[in-house]
Every structure is written in C-alpha cells, then in structure tokens.
Structure 1
Amino acid sequence: MTDRQKKFMQFIEDFIRDNGYSPSIREIAKGLGLSSTSSVKKMLDRLTEKGLLNRSGSIARSIEMPNRGIPVVGRIVAGVPVEAEENIEGYMKLDRLTIRSGGHFFLKVDGDSMKDEAILHGDYVLIKPGPIITNGQIGAFRINGEVTLKTFRQNAEGIYLMPANEAFEPIPVGEYDDFEVIGTLKMVLRMANGGHVFNPA
C-alpha cells in the first residue's frame, strides 16, 4: 500500500470511528485537502479493487473496511476513571450479521466496578459511538478528560454515572464538569483461556 493510500485508509477509519458512519466523497476530499472529487473516486476504486474497502456505488456513505475488523482503541476503567487512551491496539473481526454498521469499536475493561452487570476485568466491550443515551443504559463516558464505563442515571438531582458494585461510589456529573457521552454498550466479549482475536494493525 502506498503512503497516499494509507492516508486515505486512515482518514476513512478515523471518520467512521468518530461519526458512526462512513464519509462522503466530498468529506474525504475536504479532510485530505484535495480540490478534486474525481481523484478521490479513483483512489476509492483502486482500494476497492485491492479488497481493502467494500463499496456500493448506488448507496451513499457505503464505504466499509472489511479486512480490518473492529478497532480496539485502548482500555476503559470499570472503577474510577483513568486518563483516556485512544491509540488503536489491534482489531477484532465479528460476523457481519452481528455488526452491520460502521463506527463501532472495542475497549478493554480494566477493573470490576461493573461486575454485577456481568462485565468483568479483562472483558472487551463493544461501543456504538454517539452522544445520545437513555436513562439506565450502560455507556462509555469521558469526564474531565478521563474515560469510564458506567450506567447512566439522570433524575431531578442531576446526572450520575453508576457502578454495579457496592464497593464503588456513583460519580456525580457537575455543572462545570467537562462531560461527554462517548457511546453506548452493545456487547461484552470474554476470551477463554487467555485467548484473543486480534488482527495486526
């Protein structure tokens, strides 16, 4: 793969992870500082021919990255929040019937504050990115630059990130906290006998 092709692939991968859907041709051109959409189309055609992308010419935003799988972007604490880690550590492949849309990513669980929800230390949680979450859903959150996995609770007193382990305290979200919903929990994977399903990046 050429350096230019790597830049295309990295932009598409980052866009899907950040937005939950694939970029348009114009968005790729703008993001890479290209003036011509025709050059983007040609590059997408080359990458598709090489099997690095899947595309449907009749469907908008239909770019998929079939050979890479779902990225594992770091770890998330089921306990107290820790500093965010967003470097891609590897990839996991799931059956296409299981995950049909782009943008999902895995985080590795560090800690046991969610053990009563059957989310244990060392598990991998599949996150669907997006800012919308409903009361009672488990999600990944960033609070004051740190990330954590908790249950979202909102009532008349405010917003709380709730553990599922009585040894841990709820995390209140104050008016001046820098708070973001990263995404919602879709699946928990547990590897047997220390196995893994990483694909090299």
Structure 2
Amino acid sequence: MSRQAQNEKKQRDILSFIYNYLEAKNYSPSIREIQAGLLIKSPATVHKHLNELVKKGFLAKDQGEDNSLRRKSRNVTVTASGASFLGRGLNRNHIPLLTEEITSPVIELGDKSGRTYFPIPPNLDRTDPLFMVALADDAMLDAHLLKDDLVIVRKQENFKDGDIVLVLGPQNLLTCRRYRYKSEKVHLVAENPTANGYYLEEIPPILGKVLSVYRIL
C-alpha cells in the first residue's frame, strides 16, 4: 500500500472514530482519546491527519481553538461532506449552522454538502428542529447577545411572554428581540437603547425561539 493510500485510510479511520464517538457521547474526543482508540503512535500524527480532514471539509472545528482538539473544549464535528465520505448520514446529534441568506420563514434544515454542523449540547432535546445562525446586530445587548454570536434556535410558531426570539428583520437581517404579549397584543422589544422594537402591524417574521448562545472569544 502506498504512503498516500495509508494516509487516506488512517484519515478515514479517524473520521469514523470521531463520528461514532459523537453519536455515542454527544461531544467530540480529544487527541489522546483518538490516539489510544486507534493505536496511533503519537499525538502529532493525529494532529496532522485532523488538519488534513479539516482542509478537505470533512471536519469542522471551533475557529476559536488552536490547531488541535483540546481535552476541555471538544468542539469539533463531522460535516455533511464528511458523513457522505463515510457513506453515512449526519447523526441526530448535530445542529446545522445556516450561513446562506435567509429570505423567508421557511427554512430547510436537511443535510446539505458544505454546511458546518455542531454537536447538540446535552441539555437540549435532540428531536427538536434546531439550527444555528450568526446574529447581525447588538439589539439584545443587555441580554448579553452580541453581533456575530452564534445562537441555537428551535423552530416553532407559539411563544411565551419573555421568550427571546429570532427575527427576520429588514434587508433579511437576523436579529433577536424579547417577545412580549400584553392585552392580546404582541410586541418585540429590543434590549439595547440604540435598537428599535417592533409593534402591532410592524411585527416581522419570527423564525423561532433562542435557546442558547455560542461565542467565539
């Protein structure tokens, strides 16, 4: 077997190991765990193959991490391309990060090649229709939601007073507001003095309820 073929086999083995680990534990393994699980001689070899898998688009990592899988930060996942390479579908432990422009409340959450997928936090229901998007502004600054934060959203149509919701604003900007229901009227309230709220007939499409936030430091 040629050196190239050996490397490709080892990368497939590592990708499959990560896929199965995510399926079982809902978070990704450390380099040491991959090394031990596949009997690889050194962490540096694992590191090299991980970088190649990222370059090929088969793995996605938190951009705030260094070039390794660190034991405490386990934010790596198999992309749709990686799952396809293994001949398997994305497992139910992943949330799609939607980077394409959203122009209507109808959002397609099915597997798409090239999308990035993140592990679902263990406190969330993996059967819910979840997705992630980056916020376009600081309209909910006082609720500690910042521009470019990645928020985890559950698609739903009914909301409670006090929920933070994802809104499709003017020019298709993705922004958040506090859902307020009083005297049978809905208000979407900003929590930043420089941002506007929405009232009555001005209510824009609501895409879902914000459940969590993921921030790259």
TM-score scaled by length of structure 2: 0.47
Aligned partner of 1:73 among 86, 95, 98: 98
In structure 2, the CA distance between the partners of 1:74 and 1:161, relative to structure 1 (3 Å rule), is: farther
2:197 matches 1:160:
no
Which sections of structure 1, spanning at least 5 residues, go unmatched? 1-46, 55-63, 77-81, 193-201
RMSD: 3.5
Q: Which residue of 2 is the match for residue 113 of structure 1?
A: 139
Give how far 1:182 is off: 1.8
CA 83–50 in structure 1, closer or farther in 2 if over 3 Å, else same: closer
Aligned counterpart in structure 1 of residue 164 of structure 2, from 122, 138, 149: 138
- Offset of residue 110 of structure 1: 1.2
Aligned to 2:206: 181
TM-score normalised by length of structure 1: 0.51
Q: Using the alignment, how far apart are the partners of 1:73 and 1:91 within structure 2?
A: 8
Q: Cα–Cα, structure 1 residues 51 and 162, in superposed 2: closer, same or farther, change >3 Å?
A: same
2:187, 2:203 within 8 Å by CA — same for their partners in 1? no
Report how far residue 178 of structure 1 moved. Answer: 7.1
Q: What amino acid is the match of 2:207?
A: I
In the alignment, structure 2 segments of 5+ residues that lack a partner are 1-83
Say yes or no: does 1:51 pair with 2:78. Answer: no
State the Cα distance separating 1:113 from its structure 2 match: 1.1
Report if the CA contact (8 A) 2:136-2:175 is conserved: no
Give the residue type in structure 2 aligned to 1:52: G
State the structure with bigger RCO (CA 8 A, min sep 6), 1 or 2: 1
SS in 2 for 1:93: strand
Task: Name the counterpart of 2:178.
Answer: 151
| Alpha-carbon distance change, 51 to 96 in structure 1, aligned in 2, over 3 angstroms | farther
Look up the match of 2:48: none
Aligned length: 126
